[in-house]
Amino acid sequence: MASHRRPKQPSRARVTVLTTAAAAAVALSSQAANAAPSEKPSKDEVKAKVDKLYEDAEQATEKYNGAKEKQEKLQKEISTIQDNVARGQDELNAMRDSIGLAAAAQYRTGTIDSSVQLFLSSNPDDYLDKASTMDQLSAQQVEALKKIQEKQRELAQERSEASAKLKDLASTRTELGKKKKEVQGKLAEAQKLLNTLTAKEKAALAAEQERSSRASERDVLGSSTAASGRAGAAYAWAQSQLGKPYVYGATGLSSYDCSGLTSRAYAAAGVQIPRTSEAQAQIGTRIYSESQLQVGDLVFFFNDLHHVGLYAGNGQIIHAPRTGTVVRYESMSTIGGPFMFGVRV
């Protein structure tokens, strides 16, 4: 006989779960249908991002250069102090030996005086205080012992100074490593972006740079401003480096970073200037008006002064721009950061 039992209805909780799941599925499918497919960044977008990464890398490079320069300076200072300590210790040993020889001679004759006995005691620092009241102490012995004590204090101070500088050196090396890692990270990120471009897009970017450089060169050659003196000599030397690649931390002769080029150019002109752009900005006479710049003046860009070049006349500079480029002429208007001031060395 057929069953007349009614079919079992789903529970209210199960209905709710099914309804929620169905709604979620509909929402997801709707979003997927409406979402635009991800687009590959354009050549200009990639260039903008790469330029910013290169700017950040150059900023870190100048910090790296500063830490490297400090490290080299500390190493020289520590070496000098250590040499001084070694010589001082030899002098101290000779002084002590002379007192010892005097004591030995007196011992052989059986006439060791109380002054020498005190010096050879376990607490020689207390010697002069006690010996000063003794009639047996000769003026020559007093002078010798004073020199020994003075040399001991001098050596202790130099050892303390060397210890402090060694700690500073360790800290500087750590900072140097961090900045180097930061620079390399920015450059790797930039290269990764560049690798997304097609060969045709890369060629187009290179052509744009070449056209810009040629235009700047024409403007320089068309300038009537002549270079003279040591600024002229520095500028002429920088011109001889045109076409050499930018490499962070480099000072030539095969490659340069921005401040490496300017410091080397002035060194070739017989003028020693600091290594980093920030330090170079603190020398000479500042020129705030672009119209007052002369060929060979140092020119600084960006608020933190992390980029420097040499003024080439007619609104152009010669500089080492960034990774992937070479020493070249460029318009001040296309550097990517504001002109801050010039410096006449």
Produce one character per residue of 149-176: b if its CB has 16 or more CB atoms within 10 Å, e if not: eebbeebeebeeebeebeeebeebbebb
Closest CA to 294 of 242, 234, 231, 233: 231
CA dist 197 → 97, 215, 236, 336 (Å): 77, 26, 37, 22
What is the sign of the dihedral through the CA atoms of 280, 285, 289 and 293?
negative
E strand or H helix at 313: strand 307-313
Domains and CATH numbers, the chain: 43-193 (no CATH), 200-344 (3.90.1720.10)
Q: What CA–CA distance (Å, rounded) separates 80 from 78?
A: 5
Closest CA to 262 of 231, 288, 224, 289: 231
Residue type, position 108, single letter: R
Are 216 and 313 spatial neighbours (Cβ–Cβ below 8 Å)? no
Cis, peptide link before residue 145, omega less than 30° from 0: no
Residue matched to tokens 């709710």: 16
Structure-token pair, residue 167: 């700690």
Residues with catalytic function: 258, 307, 319
How many helices (H) and strands (E) the chain has is answered by 9, 6
Taking only the tens of pLDDT, the chain with its 345 residues reads 444 455 455 544 444 444 444 444 444 444 444 444 457 788 889 989 998 999 999 999 999 999 999 999 999 999 999 999 999 898 888 887 877 666 555 555 555 555 555 555 555 555 555 555 444 456 666 777 788 888 888 898 999 999 999 999 999 999 999 999 999 999 999 999 999 999 999 898 888 888 888 888 887 876 656 677 999 999 999 999 999 999 999 999 999 999 999 999 999 999 999 999 999 999 999 999 999 999 999 999 999 999 999 999 999 999 999 988 999 999 999 998 999 999 999
Structure-token pair, residue 17: 């779960």
